[in-house]
Amino acid sequence: MISSRLALPALGLVPLLTFALSPQFLPCQVKKPSGSSPLIGCPDGTIYVSSDPTDKFATFHNIQAAVLSLPKTGSATILIGAGEYHETVNVTRTGPVTLLGQLPASALNSLSRPQFPLDSSPSPISNLVHVFNTEFVKTPMDDAESAVLIVAPSFNASLIGAGPTGAPLQSLKGNSDFRAYNIDWANRAANFAISQALVTDISYSNASFYGCSFASFQDTWYTGRNGSTYVVDSVIFGQTDYLFGFGTAWFQNIILANRACGGGIVAWKGTNLTDAPGNRYGAYIANSQIIRSPDANTTTVTKGLCYLGRPWNDLATTVFLNTTMDDSIRPAGWTPFGGTRPTILNTTFYAEYNSTGPGGKTDARIPLEHILNTAEAKGFALEKIFAGRPGWIDFNYLH
């Protein structure tokens, strides 16, 4: 098992999450002995990227150069060597792309590992690849221009825009199957006083993430228009609306780490059923934990200060399933967006099922929230949200 430190005494009442590795890609991801090709055990055609300019096995020394070298169609796999990558990764191609973060050789000892260490920095020590930028939103800059990772078919498709309707709808389709394994993504420009500084922008595309971390403060994670995302065994750090979006996002077995509190954890938009019949646009958090981050701003994360979310528009949907919440969550749970939307309308759908922990007590939640029973919760299973088990999700990862 990969070695790990854990210094979270306040979480003694919370069972540790179990994290898995990919049985398919692990032989490729582990570091090879010095002098051996890092591509041993990798799928045919895998491209190797290294931040070390002297690495004789590397085809590229930054990730974006490798992405730009790919043809528009066909599947592609990129192995990223251990190191720091200061860049923005922008994927516009439609063909499947898999990014593999290199792992220590000790990963071969087991296909499971303990909870990510959160005692010092927002970076699981078992992940050796760290991708970051230092961009933040400056007027009239669109939020999307600050993202560390963009998966969208065009610049206009990546734009977020402002207000409850956002950027204009595009008639485009992006990547059909983007996957990233064991990579730490961070926007290092951010702190509690700065403006929006995104980590992800996934729009008009399907994307899934395994054993990753995502660190910023405001607007860490964005699933955009016609985007579908799946995140498992990962940590997301943020402060204000740090899960936000317009598409469909499923978060499984993750840690939401509150660095501070502003707005809510989740801010989502929705589209009515007349415009998009049968849509399940929203954020769905399952079998996860919400904690006060070890690097939290202690003046702004005090007991009972954080809201679970607020509606970015009045058709927002957010559902928490089997989630343990510490005492940084306010008893009311949810708050209006403010400004021109000072109340939460009944067209907004907020729900919880089997919330536990000090912040998981639902008796003081707002009256409009739905406290689901077991039968109702089954209607929010992953297969219901995505109308089946989509092929762009690696279901063999959890085994």
Please count the residues of the chain. 399
Give the Cα separation of 172 and 138 in Å (integer): 27
Sheet holding 255-262: strands in order across?
A: 83-86, 129-133, 184-187, 213-215, 235-240, 255-262, 289-292, 324-325
CA nearest neighbour of 215 among 191, 233, 231, 247:
191
Pair type for strands 112-113 and 19-20: antiparallel
pLDDT value, residue 340: 84
Q: What is the dihedral of CA 137, 125, 249, 268, to 10 degrees?
A: -40
Q: Residue 17: helix, strand or coil by DSSP?
A: coil
Nearest to 69 by CA among 156, 82, 77: 77
Cα distance between residue 320 and residue 325, in whole Å: 10
Question: What is the spatial distance between Cα 397 and Cα 233, in angstroms, rounded to a whole number?
Answer: 10
Q: Domain ranges for the chain, please list them.
A: 9-385
Could you read off the pLDDT tens digit of each residue along the chain, which spans 399 residues? 222 222 332 333 333 344 578 989 999 999 999 999 999 999 999 999 999 999 999 999 999 999 999 998 999 999 999 999 999 999 999 999 999 999 988 777 755 444 444 443 443 447 899 999 999 999 889 999 999 999 999 999 999 998 888 999 999 999 999 999 999 999 998 665 578 999 999 999 999 999 999 999 999 999 999 999 999 999 999 999 999 999 999 999 999 999 999 899 999 999 988 888 889 999 999 999 999 998 887 777 777 789 999 999 999 999 999 999 999 999 999 999 998 889 999 999 999 999 999 999 999 999 999 999 999 999 999 999 999 999 999 999 864
pLDDT at position 196: 92
The DSSP bridge pattern shows strands 213-215 and 309-311 to be unpaired
User: Does the predicted TM-score (pTM) go above 0.85?
Assistant: yes
Q: How much is the pLDDT for 191?
A: 67
Q: What is the pLDDT of residue 5?
A: 25
CA–CA separation, 228 and 249 (whole Å)? 6
Q: Which amino acid is at 302?
A: T
Give me the CATH code for the 9-385 domain, please: 2.160.20.10
Give every CB contact of residue 281 below 8 A, 6+ residues apart in sequence. 246, 247, 248, 268, 269, 270, 271, 317
